[in-house]
Structure 1
Amino acid sequence: MKKIEIACFNLESALIAQKTGADRVELCADMSVGGTTPTKEIIQQAREHLTIDLYVMIRPRGGNFVYSDSEFEQMKSEIEAIKKLGVNGFVFGILKEDDTINIEQNKALVDLAKPFPCTFHRAFDAVSNYEKALEDVISCGFSTILTSGTFPNVMEGKEVLKQLVIQANNRIKIMPGGGLRSTNISEIDEMVNANWYHSSAITDGSEIANPEEIQNILKKLIK
């Protein structure tokens, strides 16, 4: 069964995602930088209204994915606090200066998040060697990798996405995301054959998910 996660930057999008049949919400703040940690208040509101799974992004700022000691401590504190809000999982990713996976820091956060599953987000698309990075992310204990195949979008990265699914061999879920729309999901799914897909479903330049777009994505997945 193919499933869809919707990246939501506000409560309205999260409610639309649930109403139109999405399987999971990834809740973030600050769409302009690709997502950061949302406020405690918006997480609580989302949890109050959602019955589907709610994953929360842990990212202290936009920009690169190499974090200072104080930023890393902030990420730990946020996970500890948000765990108490009834969420279902976390989304984060930390790299080293040389664009490899920071195994030590990621593993520490994955362990802290337990028993909740963690998705390694599109920091993966900045790695220098995706085959090595995949093994490193698996070793940290993540359940999912959100990636556009190390390219700016899923259409450009579809060959790499296919290779990642093959290499992962069911040890971790590969979730294509980044420019994924109803217009290209059939082509991506045919080539990549992932179980989970990720989209913001935003089609009009706003920050609100388009319910028709979510429905169209789901229709294309349920062939």
Structure 2
Amino acid sequence: MKKIEIACFNLESALIAQKAGADRVELCSDMSVGGTTPTIETIQKARQHLTIDIYTMIRPRGGNFVYSNSEFEQMKSEIEIIKKLGVNGFVLGILNEDNSINIEQNKALVDLSKPFPCTFHRAIDEISDYEQALEDVISCGFSTILTSGTFPNVMEGKEVLMQMVLHANNRIEIMPGGGLRSTNISELNEMVNANWYHSSAITDGSVIANPEEIIQLKKMLQF
């Protein structure tokens, strides 16, 4: 069964996602910068109301994915606190100055997150050598990679996404996301054949998920 994760930038979207049939939510704040760590209050409220899985973004700021020592310590502290709030996983990713995978820091965060799984987010789309990046992310212990195939959106990156799924060979989940909509998910799924797909399901320029879009995303995956 193919599954859908909805990126939710507020509690309202998370509630909509569950009601519309999403399989999981990625909870974050600040859509304008692509998502940052949500507040403790938002996580607690989401956990009170949601029975589906909640993966929490761990990202101290927008911008690039190279972090200072203090930002790295902040990420560790956030994981330790949020682990106790009943979440089901984390979403994070750190790069080196040359845009390669920072194996040491990522592995430290993945180990700290245990027993919860971690998704490496779209920081991987900053990297040109996706095959090496894929191996590096696997070596860090991540369970999933969220990616648009190193292109701005999944339809431009569909060839790379297909290659990533083949290259991963069931060692890690490749989850296409970035410009994914009900209008293109069937075509993408036919080519890429991933198990998980990721969308904000926002269709009106707001920051709130559209329930009809989520229903359609799920429906189009069943064909």
- TM-score range for the pair, normalised by the shorter chain length: over 0.9
Match in the other structure for 1:126: 126
Q: 2 CA distance for matches of 1:43 and 1:136?
A: 30
Q: 2 CA distance for matches of 1:4 and 1:143?
A: 16
Match in the other structure for 2:145: 145
Deviation per residue, 1:9-64 (Å, 9 max, x gap): 00000000000110000000000000000000000000000000000000000000
Match in the other structure for 1:160: 160
Q: So what's the TM-score if we normalise by structure 1?
A: 1.00
Structure 1 residues without counterparts, runs of 5 or longer? none
Letter in 2 for 1:16: I
Deviation per residue, 1:129-163 (Å, 9 max, x gap): 10000000000000000000000000000000000
Match in the other structure for 2:37: 37
3-state SS of 1:76 partner: helix
Deviation per residue, 1:69-117 (Å, 9 max, x gap): 0000000000000000000000000000111000000000000000000
Q: How does 1:172-187 map to 2 (within 5 A)?
A: 172-187=172-187
Question: Are 1:115 and 2:115 counterparts?
Answer: yes
Does structure 1 retain, via aligned residues, the 8 Å contact 2:128–2:150?
A: no
Taking only the aligned residue pairs, the percentage that are identical comes to 84
3-state SS of 1:74 partner: helix
Q: 2 CA distance for matches of 1:9 and 1:122?
A: 16
Q: 1 CA distance for matches of 2:47 and 2:150?
A: 32
Question: Are 1:188 and 2:195 counterparts?
Answer: no
3-state SS of 1:112 partner: helix
The offset of 1:128, in angstroms, is 2.8
Q: How does 1:60-99 map to 2 (within 5 A)?
A: 60-99=60-99
Letter in 1 for 2:144: T
Q: So what's the TM-score if we normalise by structure 2?
A: 1.00
Letter in 2 for 1:219: K
Q: 2 CA distance for matches of 1:124 and 1:57?
A: 15
Question: Are 1:221 and 2:221 counterparts?
Answer: yes
Q: 1 CA distance for matches of 2:166 and 2:143?
A: 16
The offset of 1:127, in angstroms, is 1.1
Q: 2 CA distance for matches of 1:53 and 1:140?
A: 22
Q: 2 CA distance for matches of 1:77 and 1:130?
A: 30
Q: 2 CA distance for matches of 1:208 and 1:152?
A: 22
Aligned length: 223
Regions of 4+ moved over 2 Å: none
RMSD between superposed Cα atoms in Å: 0.4
Q: 2 CA distance for matches of 1:219 and 1:115?
A: 32
